[in-house]
Chain A
Amino acid sequence: MDLSYTAEEEQFRTELRDWLSANIPPEWAEPGFWRSLDDAESFRLRREWEASKTAAGFSGIQWPTEYGGRGGTPGMKAIYDEEMVRAHAPQTVNTLGLTFLAPTVMAIGTPEQKAEIIGPMLRNEVIWCQGFSEPGAGSDLAAVATRGVRDGDDYVVNGQKIWTTNAMHGDKIFTIVRTEAGSERHKGLSMMLIDMNQPGVEARPLKQMSGASEFGEVFFTDARVPVADCLGEIGQGWRTAMLLLSFERGASGVGQYTEFRRQYDEIVEQARRFGRSDDPVARQKLANCLVELECLRYHAMHILTQVEQGRDLGSESSMTKLQWSETFQDLWEAFDDVLGPEASLERPRPDVDLAPFQAQAMWSRSVTIWGGSSQVQRNIVAERVLGLPR
């Protein structure tokens, strides 16, 4: 066991921490700050801030330098995730592009795609959305019905995507399209890189149970996509999609632990404020959340070790997802349980604003659905890790 980072990695931490402390206004750490802005203003602020972070050399931590990345180690990425949370840095605006599309383009993109996609994405000049889920294709991704028909040098795309993060702000969307008429399931699909700024594409916000609209819907009506904007081979979209999703593996959970652990402390503070921190049942509930949170931290160190050793994580990422998402949801259920009647009030006292807490509590209902529901993850663990029959 050696739980330390290298001197070079710690040096990186110092540099990043210095930059973050100089470039994050103190008010950003206040719980209600981001909620006090309207959606467009919040997005603009985050987009500009992140571009300045890229200019300072603190984006694309693990990407090769030829793509504008830092060429850092997995340990530096873990440090980055941790420090971003510690500094109350805003959430990235190009998350799906950075996490999924960029490494896929690096792996199988054409030279033109590599040149045109990665740099502008890193600088936030182009915001990318992901077009996978459809009303009829949620957990069952191979049921996609959005279709593309060849017309000269273009494909003409019709259909609907849903649960699209940043739909209202997106410039382009990487989209699974059925390009072979009459094909079924995993066959006849292609990964299309579609320009959203055209008449055939319409994005609509999707108002969620929380009242917020992190997600949206995207409608394609005779949208045109040049053949050159297919990522991977035409008809091999499923293979491209699986490669793309594989880049979720190796996300260690360090950042999530850091964030959730802070939320635990904030919930404890509220419990204390409302005289609930002495209740033995409340203490058991919260402490059990802490047990699971600490396990998430150890698991993150385990995953980071596997990545550094160059081991294939296989389906272990399903365990990571289950651990963090179920723990996060349990933590926010504990908030409601422990605070009792006060938990549902925005202003239980004139000086106490629980709205940011309630927003997290509502958001926690989504995390066990998106990115592969808990039920799908359990199937994966049971079949691919434990070898139980399909």
Chain B
Amino acid sequence: MFFALTDEQQAFAETVRDFVADRFDLDAVRAVVEDPDGDGHPLTLWKGLADQGALAVLVPEEHDGLGLGLLDAQVIARELGRAVAPGPWTTSVLAAEALRLAGSPEQQAAWLPALAAGETVGTVALRGEAGSWDGRGITVDASGERLSGTASPVDYPAVAGLFVVAATDAEGAPGLYLVEAGDAAERSSTTGEGAQGLAIRDQRTYDGTARVGAVELADTPGELLTGGTLSGGRAVDALMARGAVLTAADLVGGAREALTRTIDYDRDRKQFGVPVGSFQAIKHTMADLHVGVTMAEHAVLFAAHALDTDDPGAAIAVAVAKAKAADAAWAATGAMIQFFGGIGFTWEHEAHFFYKRARRRAPLFGSADEHRERLAALTMD
């Protein structure tokens, strides 16, 4: 029995952590947060991550990747969550996963090396407004290889060179399609429209560590991902599951960091002449949060491993991980504001970076409630 990260995986985590701490601290995060008109995609961070292999992690070696698994990828996701790092890492890695799982060798060869090197930013557009995070939430229609409809919210559409779009064909069958953004410079700066019927509407999220938009498609050329291991609805489901685990990892990383910072503060902060962390009202909350975040960390590890090994219990594991991580992240980041007291509610303080990131990401790839309903369906019906 070895339920833990290997020494290599731990060293990988430390490398990413040290890199981000050294090159992209909270002041750098703040600069991105306070520039909502900027693209939220600092190139120093992106290139550094590419140099670390963080974008190549899941890409097969024959396409210039590292050929590692989700267990390794979640290590990176956790560190980025811990650092509340901006940028399109999660969805770019997921776009590559879509190609790896569902693409033909030609499609893989055309895109994976550039995604692995960070030369192309990828993103995924898998559902539409008010839709669920499964095949039923798709709001884009495919007529042959022409796509129409609006997907939302989509991470970092403005900097993406490649969109993986979930669409439903005339027979109602879901599938994954590649949409090339073309040269972003060619897109009209006023309408955001590209030459291919692709328009991006900035949606402005309160989470300043991300940029989010709606992707509007009007008879836009889209190439069906086909010829890979998975296709159709199974490819969509597989991508959703991987998105859920990587998002859960990001949430858990942020939750752990929020909790650590809160405990460090409450160990020293004095009121009534004593450290506030000596009060049981705070101690017991921190203890419960620590147990909750620790369980969420376990759950993310297990879910990543379950997907890596095609474990028959993977569906339950993914739903458990996402539900637990979302709840733990909301609780820990909310507690960060509460237990820093008034200072935690100020703009100057970093608590809101963690809180807002957790709030925005928690519903992505299925909220805690949606995943609990999935568990109910898997065990009660």
Taking a contact as CB atoms closer than 8 A, the residue among B280, B305, B320 that contacts A291 in the complex is B320
- In contact, A388 and B291 (Cβ under 8 angstroms): no
- Counting CB contacts under 8 A, is B43 at the interface? no
Q: List chain A residues, Cβ under 8 A from B380.
A: 268, 271-272, 277, 283, 286-287
- In contact, B2 and A295 (Cβ under 8 angstroms): no
- In contact, B320 and A381 (Cβ under 8 angstroms): no
Q: How far is the CA of A197 from the CA of B284 in the complex (A)?
A: 43
Q: A284-B376, A319-B294 are in contact. Are A294 and B317 (CB under 8 A)?
A: yes
Q: A291-B375, A388-B267, A389-B278 are in contact. Are A304 and B287 (CB under 8 A)?
A: no
- In contact, A287 and B2 (Cβ under 8 angstroms): no
- Counting CB contacts under 8 A, is B174 at the interface? no
- Counting CB contacts under 8 A, is A288 at the interface? yes
Q: Nearest Cβ distance between residue B254 and chain A, in whole angstroms?
A: 18
Q: List chain A residues, Cβ under 8 A from B375.
A: 287, 290-291
Q: How far is the CA of A78 from the CA of B1 in the complex (A)?
A: 11
Q: List chain B residues, Cβ under 8 A from A264.
A: 379
Q: How far is the CA of A84 from the CA of B288 in the complex (A)?
A: 31
Q: Give chain A's interface residue range (CB within 8 Å of chain B).
A: 35 or more
B-contacting residues, A1-52, CB 8 Å: 1-5
- In contact, A385 and B290 (Cβ under 8 angstroms): yes
Q: A299-B298, A388-B267 are in contact. Are A3 and B324 (CB under 8 A)?
A: no
- In contact, B1 and A304 (Cβ under 8 angstroms): yes
Question: Considering only CB atoms and an 8 Å cut-off, how many residues of chain B contact the other chain?
Answer: 43
Q: List chain A residues, Cβ under 8 A from B288.
A: 322, 378
Q: How many A-B residue pairs have CB under 8 A?
A: 145
Q: A3-B305, A75-B1, A389-B277 are in contact. Are A286 and B290 (CB under 8 A)?
A: no
Q: How far is the CA of A388 from the CA of B284 in the complex (A)?
A: 10
- In contact, B320 and A1 (Cβ under 8 angstroms): no
Q: List chain A residues, Cβ under 8 A from B295.
A: 292, 295-296, 298-299, 323
- Counting CB contacts under 8 A, is B50 at the interface? no
A-contacting residues, B241-274, CB 8 Å: 263, 266-267, 274
Q: A3-B305, A382-B286 are in contact. Are A387 and B263 (CB under 8 A)?
A: yes
Q: List chain B residues, Cβ under 8 A from A378.
A: 280, 283-284, 287-288
- Counting CB contacts under 8 A, is B54 at the interface? no
- Counting CB contacts under 8 A, is B299 at the interface? yes
Q: How far is the CA of A287 from the CA of B275 in the complex (A)?
A: 39
- Counting CB contacts under 8 A, is B302 at the interface? yes
- In contact, B1 and A305 (Cβ under 8 angstroms): yes
Q: Nearest Cβ distance between residue B313 and chain A, in whole angstroms?
A: 9
Taking a contact as CB atoms closer than 8 A, the residue among B3, B278, B317 that contacts A305 in the complex is B3
Q: A2-B1, A382-B283 are in contact. Are A284 and B277 (CB under 8 A)?
A: no
Q: List chain B residues, Cβ under 8 A from A389.
A: 267, 274-275, 277-278
- Counting CB contacts under 8 A, is B11 at the interface? no
Q: List chain A residues, Cβ under 8 A from B323.
A: 287-288, 291
Residue of A nearest to B295 (CB): A295
Q: Nearest Cβ distance between residue A374 and chain B, in whole angstroms?
A: 9
- Counting CB contacts under 8 A, is A302 at the interface? yes
- Counting CB contacts under 8 A, is B369 at the interface? yes
- Counting CB contacts under 8 A, is A375 at the interface? yes
- Counting CB contacts under 8 A, is A151 at the interface? no
Residue of B nearest to A288 (CB): B372
7 tightest CB-CB pairs across the interface, nearest first?
A: A382-B283, A283-B376, A287-B372, A295-B295, A298-B298, A301-B3, A381-B287
Interface positions of A (Cβ within 8 A of B): 1-5, 75, 78, 264-265, 268, 271-272, 277, 280, 283-284, 286-288, 290-292, 294-296, 298-299, 301-302, 304-305, 308, 319, 322-323, 375, 377-379, 381-383, 385-390
A-B contact pairs, 16 of them (CB 8 A): A1-B3, A1-B4, A3-B305, A4-B1, A5-B1, A287-B323, A287-B372, A291-B299, A291-B323, A291-B375, A295-B299, A301-B1, A305-B1, A319-B291, A375-B280, A386-B286
